[in-house]
Every structure is written in C-alpha cells, then in structure tokens.
Amino acid sequence: MPDDEQAIRELIQSWLTASQKGDLQTVLSLMTDDVIFMVPGLEPFGKEAFVASFKGLTNVHLETSSDIKEIKLLGEWAYLRTYLEVTMTPPGGASARRSGYTLSILRKESYGRWRVARDANLLAPVM
C-alpha cells in the first residue's frame, strides 16, 4: 500500500478514535482551517459550527466504524469514499444509530500531512 494511502487510512482511524474519546483538539488537527462540511438538511458549515456541534456531544457515548471503499490520490489532493456507522448514546438515554456513505476531499499540506478539506456526510437513521 502506498505511503499516502496508508497515511489517509491512519487519518480516518485517528478521527474516529479521537471522536469516540471526545478529543476535540485532535479532531481539529485533522482538518484544514477552511474545511467545509455538508450534511442533509443543513447549509454547508465550517470549523466554527463543527466545534459547536462537537461540544454538544459532551457526555454522549459514541461508537463508530468505518469501511473505506475507495481512496483516489490526485497529487496534493485525494478523495475518500467510506461507509460509516455511528451510534450515539446520551447519559440515561436511548441509543441513536446512523449509517451511510461519506465522501471526503483531503489536501496534503506543505509539511506532508493529509487533512480533511471537504466532507459530505450522508448518514441516515437506522430503523
């Protein structure tokens, strides 16, 4: 497996692990400053709105799994298609499960590290 592809796989695993731990600083380090997120029902949003949403998950138990379906390297850019499953359980509450596909665009920074620049998340509730 090429070094860049392995680095991208490690980025995704780091994102999932940090999210499950509630480690906002690590998650922020994995995205560009001009990152844009797209999710159903909302206008595209950036880092500031991501932070607010992440902080709203305080004390929520998060379980995630990701199956990378495709990685395409295009020089200093790459795209990544994954199937993602997320279960969120608030304290004393019922679990909510969501799953679906994501499409992410990554940019390789000048110091050689890949970071998420754009992310389209199509997760839907699991019935």
Q: Where are the domains of the chain?
A: 3-125
Class assignment of domain 3-125? alpha beta
pTM of the model: 0.93
Residue 2: band (very low, low, confident or very high) from pLDDT cuts 50, 70, 90: low
Q: How many CA atoms lie within 13 A of 22 on its CB side?
A: 8
How would you write 57-126 as a 3-class SS string? CCCCEEEEEEEEEEEEEECCEEEEEEEEEEEEECCCCCCEEEEEEEEEEEEECCCCCEEEEEEEECCEEC
Cα 66 from Cα 86, distance rounded (Å): 9
| Cβ atoms < 10 Å from Cβ of 80 | 24
Average pLDDT of span 25-39: 97
Average pLDDT of span 90-96: 92
116, pLDDT greater than 80: yes
**Residue 58: per-residue pLDDT:** 84
